[in-house]
């Protein structure tokens, strides 16, 4: 079972994907953290090219881990947590991903990690379009810009970054414009995706809506006590 989630910035797609993974005992794949780690390795000259990261993920030296609560990258002898939470790293990734060769490299790395997993739910800016275009089911998460601005404020607060509401709203609008107009793989609703507007939904309601969509496709998932895969 391969489930793809796409959506606008701060729409809640990652929160919903994690909750779904916990509820149904499948693995959550965060393509964002995989891409940020890849950008970290490249910009810090840990590797000479993005192609050098693929063998790392194919070995035990570098692992993507999901413990049912948190997605993490284990590299060498430590977890890369604080390093990958730096907002500047996101900007470095976006800058690199705007170049065709780098974009293809990030895509190949994400697909390498996903390839070894049988059941999962994956989310990201291009999941369901260029990554996992043939997923068993695709979702696109939407939400009102005002709701997303408040969510962005809370998200940044976790990294000890302060934003007032007008500033957060402007940033969301700018992110939307950049995502929708970027030259390579602009943000769009994946073909045949189920669109969920969670502006007024709880996370539990969104997960239930996804479950209903799966059942309409004849796919039945049983809630598990722990994740698998």
Quote the pTM value: 0.92
Give the max Cα distance, the chain.
Answer: 48
Please tell me the predicted confidence (pLDDT) of residue 40. 97
* DSSP code, position 78: E
Better-predicted residue by pLDDT, 109 or 226: 109
196 contacts 210 by C-beta, under 8 angstroms: yes
CATH superfamily to which 2-216 belongs? P-loop containing nucleotide triphosphate hydrolases (3.40.50.300)
Domain residue ranges of the chain, discontinuous segments joined by +: 2-216
Q: What is the pLDDT of residues 88-115, one digit of tens each?
A: 898 899 899 999 999 999 999 999 999 9
> Which tens digits make up the pLDDT trace of 13-65?
999 999 999 999 999 999 999 999 999 999 999 999 999 999 999 998 999 99
What is the per-residue DSSP string for 89-133?
A: HHHHHHHHHTSHHHHHHHHHHHHHHHHT-SSEEEE-TTBTTTBST
């Amino acid at each position: 079972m391969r489930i793809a989630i796409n959506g606008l910035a701060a729409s809640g797609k990652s929160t919903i994907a994690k909750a779904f993974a916990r509820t149904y005992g499948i693995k959550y794949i965060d393509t964002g953290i995989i891409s940020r780690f890849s950008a970290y390795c490249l910009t810090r000259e840990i590797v000479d090219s993005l192609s050098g990261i693929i063998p790392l993920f194919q070995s035990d030296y570098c692992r993507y881990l999901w413990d049912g609560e948190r997605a993490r990258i284990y590299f060498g002898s430590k977890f890369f947590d604080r390093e990958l939470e730096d907002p500047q790293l996101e900007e470095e990734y976006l800058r690199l991903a705007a170049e065709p060769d780098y974009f293809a490299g990030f895509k190949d790395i994400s697909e390498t990690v996903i390839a070894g997993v049988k059941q999962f739910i994956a989310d990201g800016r291009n999941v369901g379009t260029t990554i996992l275009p043939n997923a068993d089911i695709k979702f696109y998460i939407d939400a009102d810009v005002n709701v997303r601005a408040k969510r962005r404020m809370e998200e940044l607060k976790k990294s000890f970054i302060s934003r007032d509401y007008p500033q957060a709203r402007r940033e969301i609008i700018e992110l939307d414009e950049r995502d929708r107009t970027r030259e390579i793989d602009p943000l769009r609703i994946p073909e045949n995706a189920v669109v969920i507007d969670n502006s007024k939904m709880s996370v539990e309601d969104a997960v239930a809506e996804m479950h209903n969509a799966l059942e309409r496709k004849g796919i039945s998932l049983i809630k598990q006590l722990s994740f698998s895969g």
